[in-house]
Structure 1
Amino acid sequence: MNKFSLTTRLSVMFMLVVIAVLTVAGLSFNYLCQQHFNSLDQQTLLEKQQTSQSILGVMPSIGAFDELKPQLQALLGTNQDLTAVISDSSGKVLFAHPAAMNIPERFRDAASHQVWEWQNQEQMFRGMTTQVAVAGQEKPMTVMIALDVTDNMFLFETLKWWLWIGLLICTVVCAGLGWVVAHRGLRPLEQVTRAAASISANSLKERIPIASIPSELRQLVCSFNGMLARLDDAFGRLSNYSADIAHELRTPVSNLMTHTEVVLSKKRNIEDYEENLYSNLEDFKRMSRMIDDMLFLAKADNGLITPEREWVALEGVVDTLLEYYGLLADERGIELELSGSGSIQGDVLMLHRAISNLLSNALRYTPQGKTIRVQLSQSDSSTVLTVENPGETIPPEHLEKLFDRFYRVHPTRREGSQSNAGLGLAIIRSIIEAHQGRVWCTSANGRTAFHLEFPAP
């Protein structure tokens, strides 16, 4: 049934449900009618039996039976649908109505009050057998009374045929009505489908309105609109990423072309060629670093970064980096402070790279004469490393986007510096996430802090 449309499925299910209900209702009605008529027949037979017993029970001897025939004829002979046979203990028929009726002998031994059925050609009878004790006789008389229920049986057969014919008609009608109801009920889904089909890469900012959407589809439409928002954001980032790559690579390529054209414009001595090659080497190094960073981020996006798992004392890593950046900090009068301690399981080279990027950024944006503080704190659930530096406060709307590639806090687009391509924070996030940790930034009152949190091993 998977190959059928949703409208067809709903109409078929609607038809099956209605058919099931009608079938159960029809069979129940037929059964209850039969039980009702059976109960009426049994009650009639019991009344005739009891009356016959009361008449025959006062008979002094079998010889007085002829005197009771008028009463028996008045009781049993006035109903055309009633058949009665009274026989003595030897099986001799003493009374029969109609006279030509002969009930099979096998019903003589039927239990008292047990209803039996008998078919004679096209007629159907339902009857009961009772034994009546007679004074002076060792064996009782046998009274067999039966009702002609042929009309009832014909009624039930006719009712059954009409039930199946009506069920067939209802099947066809319900199939049509089910299709109409399902088609109209699914019309909002068709509107959503048309709206979704009209959305392209150039119209990702459009949204499907939910005002006229039924509550059952509202969650689906909200999820689809959320997906469009994520795709729009991803397309925007991808477009900006391509533009950023072009901007970042244009500067070194332009420098290489300019230097080479100048050198080749005329004959020069060996010192000029060497100076040009050294200058070109710096641009090549910058491009190589950028390509390495982009390859690292591409591997991180595809889950190919697997850090080593060894115990790392973070205070040792930070202390080594503070010693490395100490000379640069002394030149600008910046103090470097470390407090606290903490150990985690991770890759020491990746952690060294992430913390180095944070310290490099902090030195770049810290005013002269100020202090950069590195704080370590460890608890039962996590270890947190914080690098805090004074400087210009970062607006809150930029904090979540700082870790995007090539993101600039300044609204105008600009080239990266010779030593900064705008990938450092993105690399930090990839490294921390590879360690199942998280990184975030806070900035307020002229102080900016980057927090690295690692889960407890």
Structure 2
Amino acid sequence: MKTRSIQSTLSRWFAIQTLAGLSIACVAVYGTTRWSFQLKQEEEFERHSELVRHVVAETRTPPNIDLLRHKLDDYFRTHPDINVSLWAGKSRLYFSQRADVKGNWLSHAQTLEDLTFEGNPVEVRLTLDSTGDDLLLRRLGWTLVAAASLGSMIVALTGSLIVRRGLKPLKLLAEQTANAGPAQPGGRIDVETFASELQPWIMQFNALLGRVEGAYAQLEAFNADVAHELRTPLANMIAQTEIELSQPRPIAALREALSSQLEEAHRLSAIVTDMLFLSKADRGAQARRTAPVSLADQVRAVGEFHEAELEQSNLTLDIEGDATLHVDVGLLRRALSNLLSNAIRYARPESQVQVVIRRDHAEFTIAVVNEGDEVDPAALPHLFERFYRADKSRSGSSSHHGLGLTIVAAIARMHGGTTFATSDRGLTRIGFTLADASA
């Protein structure tokens, strides 16, 4: 498909528009001039007819044809562009014609009803030579055609130069856009140097660059984190396998080695499963909402699953508030399980883990609160990032691969909600919001 040029397209349309406009104006000028000539010719016919009327009136009483012809000859001899014949009934009283003159003759006949000559009504027949007027009209027509054509060509030429000048900012924008990208992180196009019509597009492009750079940085960090997380269990499995194969081992030792390998394989499988889920959520997957369920009941069901962990640390689970909502029960329980597991892991022994459920118009809030060491304020904004651990030295951090809270954030997004985290005065509060789909 042939590429269109804005410059040539605008120049062509400028020329077409100018030609159309000038053509209409020229046609109007030509038509007005021709109409003016027609009015002038009608006025001349009327003036000559009045003169003939006056001469006939003077010579009819008593009838004097010689005097009539003499007076008309005196007048029309000085008007070679007009012929006249005068009739009274079937008798021709007067006839004047320039036989040696060739041209375009216009005829006009008029009966003088109020005048008679020898008892017969007088009829005047005039012919007017319009050769001069036709010549002027032809010259005017060709002049107007030339003016319209020349004007269109001039406008097309100047329009092309103006369009080329006007498109320079686009060429500059194309050059700056070509220079933007990962090779120059943080580089943006200066909006103020361009016209106001281009500024919204440039701001959108700058915003797109920001999102692309963020995604690119996230992808690089993600690849590094995945490689780091998978490298450790794989290295352990390889090293242990090499040791076991290096010399004969009893059945009990091999069974223990296989159990260790199975544990590492389960960890790898969990990482891969969680990454597949996050990939699906990042592509915009939405939660499949079921019939309305009690959020408190779902918390109790998840709490029963973590009952052994709660008893191990002498923790109690308290649920405050309730609400009924259309949710994906499986995803909701997974998010609650991750939050409870996180709270149990870092809660002070013999304390309370509290789940607070609140409703604010069309938004529902589920927060899990535990007592324990405060989270560094600098780490709070990163808690929901992939493979992020607020404090790797904290108990149990090495046995988890850092995707639990990331999955909570993904489930919240799939329900049209967000996440939040605060830590102050020995209380850590982490949770998410859910949007009411029926609102």
TM-score, length of structure 2 as denominator length: 0.85
What letter corresponds to residue 426 of structure 1 in structure 2? T
Question: What is the aligned partner in structure 1 of residue 213 from structure 2?
Answer: 232
SS in 2 for 1:159: helix
Provide the C-alpha distance between the structure 1 equivalents of 2:35 and 2:270, rounded to a whole number of angstroms. Answer: 94
SS in 2 for 1:63: coil
Among candidates 210, 217, 228, match of residue 198 of structure 2: 217
Quickly say closer, same or farther: Cα 1:165–1:52, change in 2 above 3 A: same
Question: What is the aligned partner in structure 1 of residue 93 from structure 2?
Answer: 94
Question: What is the aligned partner in structure 2 of residue 430 from structure 1?
Answer: 410
Quickly say closer, same or farther: Cα 1:99–1:258, change in 2 above 3 A: closer
How far off its partner does 1:360 sit?
1.9
Quickly say closer, same or farther: Cα 1:337–1:55, change in 2 above 3 A: farther
Matches within 5 A, 1:241-320: 241-302=222-283, 307=288, 309-320=290-301
How far off its partner does 1:256 sit?
1.9
Quickly say closer, same or farther: Cα 1:298–1:456, change in 2 above 3 A: closer
How far off its partner does 1:237 sit?
0.5
Provide, for residues 233-269 of structure 1, a one-character-per-residue CA deviation record: whole Å limited to 9, x for no partner.
1110100010010111122122223333444454443
Question: What is the aligned partner in structure 2 of residue 149 from structure 1?
Answer: 130
Question: What is the aligned partner in structure 1 of residue 323 from structure 2?
Answer: 342
Point out where structure 1 has 5 or more consecutive residues left out of the alignment. 102-119
Comparing 311-320 and 366-375, the one that deviates more: 366-375
SS in 1 for 2:191: coil
Among candidates 162, 165, 168, match of residue 146 of structure 2: 165
CA RMSD of aligned residues (A): 3.3
Provide the C-alpha distance between the structure 2 equivalents of 1:363 and 1:237, rounded to a whole number of angstroms. Answer: 29
Question: What is the aligned partner in structure 1 of residue 6 from structure 2?
Answer: 6
Among candidates 360, 370, 374, match of residue 392 of structure 1: 374
Question: How many residue pairs were aligned?
Answer: 433
SS in 2 for 1:4: coil
Among candidates 340, 346, 350, match of residue 359 of structure 1: 340
What letter corresponds to residue 405 of structure 2 in structure 1? L
Provide the C-alpha distance between the structure 1 equivalents of 2:86 and 2:309, rounded to a whole number of angstroms. Answer: 131
Matches within 5 A, 1:54-93: 54-57=54-57, 60=60, 63-90=63-90, 92-93=91-92
2:26–2:145 CA contact under 8 A, matched in 1:
no
Quickly say closer, same or farther: Cα 1:302–1:226, change in 2 above 3 A: closer
How far off its partner does 1:288 sit?
0.9
Provide the C-alpha distance between the structure 2 equivalents of 1:309 and 1:71, rounded to a whole number of angstroms. Answer: 116
Quickly say closer, same or farther: Cα 1:274–1:175, change in 2 above 3 A: same
Provide the C-alpha distance between the structure 1 equivalents of 2:338 and 2:303, rounded to a whole number of angstroms. Answer: 12
2:383–2:390 CA contact under 8 A, matched in 1:
yes
What letter corresponds to residue 427 of structure 1 in structure 2? I
Provide the C-alpha distance between the structure 2 equivalents of 1:315 and 1:14, rounded to a whole number of angstroms. Answer: 71
What letter corresponds to residue 274 of structure 1 in structure 2? R
Question: What is the aligned partner in structure 1 of residue 419 from structure 2?
Answer: 440
What letter corresponds to residue 411 of structure 2 in structure 1? I
Provide the C-alpha distance between the structure 1 equivalents of 2:61 and 2:375, rounded to a whole number of angstroms. Answer: 128
SS in 2 for 1:216: coil
Comparing 347-356 and 385-394, the one that deviates more: 385-394
How far off its partner does 1:395 sit?
4.1
How far off its partner does 1:139 sit?
5.7
Comparing 74-83 and 24-33, the one that deviates more: 74-83
What letter corresponds to residue 423 of structure 1 in structure 2? L
How far off its partner does 1:348 sit?
1.8
What letter corresponds to residue 132 of structure 1 in structure 2? L
Quickly say closer, same or farther: Cα 1:56–1:334, change in 2 above 3 A: farther
Tell me whether 1:15 sits opposite 2:15 in the alignment. Answer: yes
Question: What is the aligned partner in structure 2 of residue 32 from structure 1?
Answer: 32
What letter corresponds to residue 440 of structure 1 in structure 2? T
Matches within 5 A, 1:399-418: 399=381, 402-408=383-389, 417-418=397-398
Provide, for residues 425-453 of structure 1, a one-character-per-residue CA deviation record: whole Å limited to 9, x for no partner.
33223333334x21221526454342221
Provide, for residues 391-426 of structure 1, a one-character-per-residue CA deviation record: whole Å limited to 9, x for no partner.
635648953x5444234557x999x93442222233
Provide the C-alpha distance between the structure 2 equivalents of 1:30 and 1:3, rounded to a whole number of angstroms. Answer: 41
SS in 2 for 1:310: coil
Question: What is the aligned partner in structure 2 of residue 112 from structure 1?
Answer: none
Provide the C-alpha distance between the structure 1 equivalents of 2:120 and 2:340, rounded to a whole number of angstroms. Answer: 122
1:338–1:373 CA contact under 8 A, matched in 2:
yes
1:208–1:225 CA contact under 8 A, matched in 2:
yes
Among candidates 126, 130, 138, match of residue 110 of structure 2: 130
Provide, for residues 276-298 of structure 1, a one-character-per-residue CA deviation record: whole Å limited to 9, x for no partner.
22222221111111111112222
Comparing 189-198 and 52-61, the one that deviates more: 52-61
Provide the C-alpha distance between the structure 1 equivalents of 2:311 and 2:168, rounded to a whole number of angstroms. Answer: 73
Provide the C-alpha distance between the structure 2 equivalents of 1:248 and 1:218, rounded to a whole number of angstroms. Answer: 44
Provide, for residues 211-244 of structure 1, a one-character-per-residue CA deviation record: whole Å limited to 9, x for no partner.
3222222222222222111111111010001001
